Structure 1
Amino acid sequence: MSTADGIEPFEGDDRQYSPTRLPGWLQEVNRPDRVQPEQLTRGQLTDLSPRQLLLYNDGRAVWHANIGPIHTPQLIALHEDLEEIVESNRHDGDKTKPAALVDAYPGLGKSTAVRAYGRSLYRKQIALRGETAPSGDRRVPVIYIALSGNTQIRGLNASICRFYGLPVTGDADTLAERAVDAVLSMKTTAIIVDDVHFLAGSKSNSARMANQLKYLSNVFPVTLVYVGVGVQQRGILREGFSQQESLLAQFGRRTTPLTLRSFEVETEEGRLEWRTLLKTIERQLVLAERFPGMLAEDLSDYLYARSTGHFASLMSLINRGCLRAMRRGHERLDEDLMNQVKNDAAAEEARLELEAAIKAGLLTTRPASHPPQRRSA
């Protein structure tokens, strides 16, 4: 159907959904991989009509905004550890299944990495056991919930009910019974609980946090995968001898801590990882004047200083840079253009110190095995 002016409507490839609801989670799990837009030259861009250029740039914008997840060494290691924990938890219902806690600094992509593992596990279970559970319900092997500030036990249970599309009325016990029935009938084997640090407002509340997480493991016959920031710093996995510390020790015995590290360039191995990451991203950029080494050679030090080695900061910077390059007709990333791009506050705050260290020769992102190369003019 055309609009009044004869233009065909175009929705684009934006995929808006909430993974904390079953319909949205199914979209994330079952979505087809995006197809990278065709790489056009400047001449080919010039030959496009205004409408064709508008559509092409729209496709490039949504592509750059959704690059990844990239299988970095950090992500691969995390997935291997999660697979070992989750898929070895074949315990009967009378036994508590050990949990996993992915605890890392903000901006490292831990939520994206864990959801990517959840998506893989979901697909694997469906391929193995089919889409329908013995109860006749849809099989939902993995669910994803995210907590908000000051969550209590009732809020935990309500989040799980809300995911399944169940009523969220009643007290904590009523909600728990409702959620457990859904877990059992839909054959859920793993629950990802994101932003778990919201269970405690301060370090002094570590016992309360441990108590609520222990409650989850006792009530739900699944593997729980917690994702949070600074959870271990609250002392939640430490052992002790007082009554409070005994509770923490019990939870610590049932939980395996994992992390997702940032990129570092103090070692040769770290510098090689950084270079590989930039080369991988570079190949996925759709800019008319993209060239080999645009990121990994010309912008390696610059991008590290601007992102401080944090994946989320890096991808935001590159995504925004590509959008600016397209809108300005620049069609490449370089320092002049990137200096106009704003990034998150944490990255910008740490930027000056890293830039100073790089300029003074105290820090470099370049591996010794890959010295800088001059491009011919």
Structure 2
Amino acid sequence: MSTAEGIAPFEGDDRQYSPTRLDGWLQEVNGPDRQQPEHLTRVQLSQMSPGRLLVHNDGREVWHANLGPIETPQLVSLHEDLAEIVESNRQDGDKTKPAALVDAYPGLGKSTAVRAYGRALFRKQVALRGETTPSGDRRIPVIYIALTGNTQIRGLNAAICRFYGLPTSGNADTLAERAVDAVLSMKTIAIIIDDVHFLAGSHSNQARMANQLKYLANVFPVTLIYVGVGVQKRGLLREGFSPQQTLLAQFGRRTTPLTLPPFQVEDEAGRRQWRTLLKTIERKLVLAGKSPGMLAEDLSDYLYARSTGHFASLMALINRGCLRAIRTGHERLDEELMDRVRNDAAAEEARKELQAAIGSGLLTTRPAAKKRKSA
């Protein structure tokens, strides 16, 4: 028992794991949903003992750090497209299954969105077919790996083996055989490969990258879901007539490009989506001084300018703002507090231009008044 605070030591609800390892991925897939902390008034907070307040605030901090995934229209649309591709891939093992490429700018939450789909697909398959395969192995319908710079074929195969907890010794072919055995025995139907742009290197390496991805598609009888930044701009999915371009075109024929766009407020539909997002986030915040419209009304323009409509930038800003609001006792988000919160470099760089457009009346995040009641 801690005599200083009068509470027993506790770990809190932090969940430290790597989804690129089987044990960690199973924690993400099967972990219980977090329970939103109790919403207390300022008076109730002031009446708590120091120890109880410490525990309560710790729970609020980890809660705000893990809001989401939020079912935005962009996320719902992406999940529908992924389901259409992955869950229609019921071809026999002698046929190559078409792949999906989620290609979007950084900071839009594409990795989180794809993992959320993978989690749902994993659960669906286990509910439908059971936790074990007919041969008695554990069923692992979906796996997740992330690449690093200059990854080669051997590195790709090693990453898959590492996920399953298999040895990573041997050449590329040995590792591939090992990985395929695991895929088949554990009934894996989809492999999520994040940061696939690390395979691309320079424009001169397009054919090498296409070769690597074609190799994966031929060797592994699964649906490959690639996630990356600027992959299409490198020409991987373009048609062509030269020997090199023919290879790229073949990969393009087998791959469906998807994206996750940022929020935009140039039209009413976009402004209503932005407002709905802020209202959804607002409901999830556990701050004693929170009031209706704190985000969706008072901070709508401000948060758009600070985040540039990028989901990850927005959530980082709100998470840090909530932490500051709790630790300072301010217990609400407003411009004065948020101005002291730092955000990522890309968002801050684009902030001035958006703020100028909003300040001059050239841009607004607010839906028309007549439509606001139904937003």
Contact residue 180 and residue 220 of structure 1 kept, 8 A: yes
Please say which of residues 67-76 and 128-137 is displaced more in the overlay.
Answer: 128-137
Contact residue 200 and residue 231 of structure 2 kept, 8 A: no
2:150 matched to which residue of 1? 150
2:69 matched to which residue of 1? 69
Q: Take 1:372 and 1:93, find their aligned partners in 2: how far apart are those partners?
A: 52
2:129 matched to which residue of 1? 129
1:42 matched to which residue of 2? 42
* 2:206 corresponds to 1:206: yes
1:247 matched to which residue of 2? 247
Q: Gaps (5+ residues) in structure 1?
A: none
Post-superposition offset of 1:251: 0.2
* 2:257 corresponds to 1:272: no
Aligned ranges 1:79-158 → 2 under 5 Å: 79-158=79-158
Q: Take 2:98 and 2:111, find their aligned partners in 1: how far apart are those partners?
A: 20
Contact residue 204 and residue 234 of structure 1 kept, 8 A: no
1:15 matched to which residue of 2? 15
SS of 1:291's equivalent in the other structure is coil
SS of 2:369's equivalent in the other structure is coil
Post-superposition offset of 1:204: 2.1
Post-superposition offset of 1:7: 4.1
SS of 1:145's equivalent in the other structure is strand
Residue deviations 1:78-110, cap 9 Å, x none? 000000000000000000000000000000000
The one-letter code of the counterpart of 1:49 is S
SS of 1:100's equivalent in the other structure is strand
TM-score between both structures, scaled by the size of structure 2: 0.98
Identical positions, percent: 81
Number of equivalenced pairs:
372
Contact residue 306 and residue 351 of structure 1 kept, 8 A: yes
Residue deviations 1:325-361, cap 9 Å, x none? 0011000000000000000000000000000000000
1:343 matched to which residue of 2? 343
Residue deviations 1:220-251, cap 9 Å, x none? 00000000000000000001000000000000
Contact residue 297 and residue 372 of structure 1 kept, 8 A: no
Post-superposition offset of 1:203: 2.1
1:290 matched to which residue of 2? 290
Please say which of residues 52-61 and 4-13 is displaced more in the overlay.
Answer: 4-13
In structure 2, relative to structure 1, the CA distance for the partners of 1:370 and 1:134 (3 Å cut) is same
* 2:334 corresponds to 1:334: yes
The one-letter code of the counterpart of 2:219 is V
Post-superposition offset of 1:135: 1.9
Q: Gaps (5+ residues) in structure 2?
A: none
In structure 2, relative to structure 1, the CA distance for the partners of 1:96 and 1:371 (3 Å cut) is closer
The one-letter code of the counterpart of 1:173 is D
TM-score between both structures, scaled by the size of structure 1: 0.97
Q: Take 2:204 and 2:113, find their aligned partners in 1: how far apart are those partners?
A: 29
SS of 1:148's equivalent in the other structure is coil
Post-superposition offset of 1:8: 1.0
* 4+ aligned runs moved over 6 Å, structure 1: none
In structure 2, relative to structure 1, the CA distance for the partners of 1:3 and 1:325 (3 Å cut) is closer
The one-letter code of the counterpart of 1:231 is V
Contact residue 161 and residue 167 of structure 1 kept, 8 A: yes
Post-superposition offset of 1:134: 1.6
Please say which of residues 203-212 and 298-307 is displaced more in the overlay.
Answer: 203-212
Please say which of residues 206-215 and 114-123 is displaced more in the overlay.
Answer: 206-215
Q: Take 1:56 and 1:205, find their aligned partners in 2: how far apart are those partners?
A: 53
Q: Take 2:259 and 2:347, find their aligned partners in 1: how far apart are those partners?
A: 20
The one-letter code of the counterpart of 1:56 is H
Post-superposition offset of 1:372: 8.9
